[in-house]
Amino acid sequence: VLAIIPARGGSKSIPGKNIKMLGKKPLIGYTIEAAQRSKVTDIIVSTDSQEIINVVKKYNIDYILRRSATYSGDNIPVIPDVLNNVLENFQYTNNYDIVLVLEPTYPFRDEKTINTIIDKVSSTQSDWVVTISKNREHPHRTRKLLGDTIIPFIENVNVFSQRQDLPDAYMLRGAVYGAKIKNIQGKKNLNDMDWIGVIINEKQAIDIDEPIDFILAKGVLDYENK
């Protein structure tokens, strides 16, 4: 099992986000340590940042791959672009059966979740096994604006339905993506109709994207350490 941790240095919303201290360790440290406690065989950190390289070296990472500027922009998706670039340029790719993508912005995803994904990938022929969490804001209640008029995304649904009367809705989370390498290598078109979901709780689903997310994560740590 090969785990890829994609860690750009150019975050605009939170400068230096991936190595910003959260509690007593840099944000990326939570992901590295969870992977090291799991069934993962080897870990690659893919980055364009020397600062990130300096930080992750302290964790005895198996491999660090320098990412070119071509694959480091805001508009470059981790899957499939960065993933394929890593698999194509890593000389030992053929030594592995399974690849995981662990985004470093999920500090509370743990080794149990990583292992569950690995086990699901091993036992299924689906292209991807991914983490999902329940949506707080139900899609039946979401709206778009046309001028100043609100238009439902989903038509013919009673907006005043009680939450318990609505079907559960889930959001894709980048805490863990897992696949058999032979099933996805080189693929540019990802059809999520053949994906399998593993549900994670609200804490594990915290994704550090904006400053408010960092405040939330710090609040969780402070509460747990009381």
For the stretch 42-76, pLDDT in tens is 999 999 999 999 999 999 999 999 988 787 877 78
Residue 102 confidence (pLDDT) above 80: yes
- In this structure, the strands spanning 42-47 and 2-6 are parallel
Q: Region 109-118: what's the mean pLDDT?
A: 98
Measured in degrees and rounded to the nearest 5, phi and psi for residue 221 equal -65, -45
More confident residue, 100 or 66: 100
pLDDT score of 57? 95
DSSP assignment string, 86-145: HHHH-TTGGG-SEEEE--TT-TT--HHHHHHHHHHHHH---SEEEEEEE-SS-GGG-EEE
pTM for this structure?
Answer: 0.91
**pLDDT by residue (tens digit) across 9-21?**
878 889 899 999 9
CA 130 – CA 217 distance, rounded (Å): 22
pLDDT score of 70? 81
Residue 6 confidence (pLDDT) above 80: yes
Map tokens 């201290």 to a residue: 21
**pLDDT by residue (tens digit) across 121-180?**
999 988 899 999 998 888 888 888 999 998 888 887 777 777 777 888 899 999 999 999
**pLDDT by residue (tens digit) across 20-47?**
999 999 999 999 999 999 999 999 999 9
DSSP assignment string, 45-62: EEES-HHHHHHHGGGT-S
The kind and range of the H/E element at 182 are helix 181-184
Residue 192 confidence (pLDDT) above 70: no
Residue 191 confidence (pLDDT) above 90: no
